[in-house]
C-alpha cells in the first residue's frame, strides 16, 4: 500500500489553513505526531500566538486499560484560551477518543470562541461523533494495522503502517 507523502500533506494543510488565520487564532498540537505537525504548521503560517502542546494521556476514557505508554509530557498552553479561535492539530484521526480528551483539556484552560480540528490523515473508523475540518488526506488502513507519523533526525515527516499493539 502506497501512503501519501507527509511533507506534501503538511504543505497542503498549511495552504488550506492560511486564509483562516486571524488575530485571535492559536494552535495546539497533540503529542507526539500532532505536536510535530503543529510545530511545522505554526512556523509555515507565521502565527503570532505561541504554540501550545498537549498531552492527553490522563484525560483518555481508556486510561485505566492503556495506562501511560511514554513519559508523560506536561501540557503547555502559553496563551489565554478564552475567546481564541483554536486550531487543534493531530497526526491521524481514527476513533475520535483522543480529540474528545483534548477538548476536555482545552476547557480546563478556558472557553475558546471555536475549535477547528486539523489532521494530516483521517483513516476513518470513528467511535465518537468527531470530524476534522481540515484534512490532508483520507486513507483506508487495513485491519490490524495502525498509521503512524514518523520524524527522522532532520525533522522530515513520513507516514508508516505498523501492526496494531494489543491494548
* 6-63+74-163 placed in CATH 3.20.20.70: no
pLDDT at residue number 130 = 97
Per-residue pLDDT tens digits for 10-62? 999 999 999 999 999 999 999 989 999 999 999 999 999 999 999 988 775 55
pTM: 0.91
Q: Residue 69: how many CA atoms within 13 Å on its side-chain side?
A: 13
Pairing mode, if any, of strands 114-122 and 25-30?
A: unpaired
Per-residue pLDDT tens digits for 54-85? 998 877 555 445 455 555 567 999 999 999 99
| 137 three-state secondary structure | strand
User: What's the mean pLDDT when you consider all of the chain?
Assistant: 91
Q: Residue 13: how many CA atoms within 13 Å on its side-chain side?
A: 34
Amino acid at each position: 500500500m502506497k501512503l501519501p507523502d507527509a511533507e506534501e500533506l503538511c504543505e497542503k494543510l498549511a495552504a488550506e489553513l492560511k486564509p483562516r488565520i486571524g488575530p485571535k487564532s492559536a494552535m495546539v498540537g497533540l503529542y507526539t505526531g500532532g505536536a510535530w505537525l503543529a510545530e511545522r504548521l505554526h512556523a509555515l503560517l507565521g502565527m503570532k500566538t505561541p504554540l501550545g502542546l498537549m498531552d492527553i494521556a490522563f484525560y483518555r476514557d481508556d486510561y485505566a486499560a492503556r495506562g501511560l505508554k511514554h513519559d508523560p509530557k506536561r501540557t503547555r498552553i502559553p496563551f489565554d484560551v478564552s475567546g481564541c479561535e483554536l486550531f487543534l492539530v493531530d497526526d491521524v484521526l481514527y476513533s475520535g477518543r483522543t480529540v474528545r480528551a483534548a477538548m476536555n483539556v482545552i476547557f480546563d484552560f478556558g472557553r475558546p470562541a471555536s475549535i477547528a480540528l486539523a489532521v494530516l490523515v483521517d483513516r476513518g473508523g470513528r467511535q465518537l461523533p468527531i470530524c476534522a475540518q481540515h484534512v490532508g488526506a483520507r486513507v483506508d488502513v487495513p485491519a490490524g494495522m495502525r498509521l503512524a507519523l514518523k520524524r527522522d533526525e532532520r525533522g522530515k515527516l513520513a507516514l508508516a503502517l505498523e501492526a496494531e499493539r494489543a491494548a
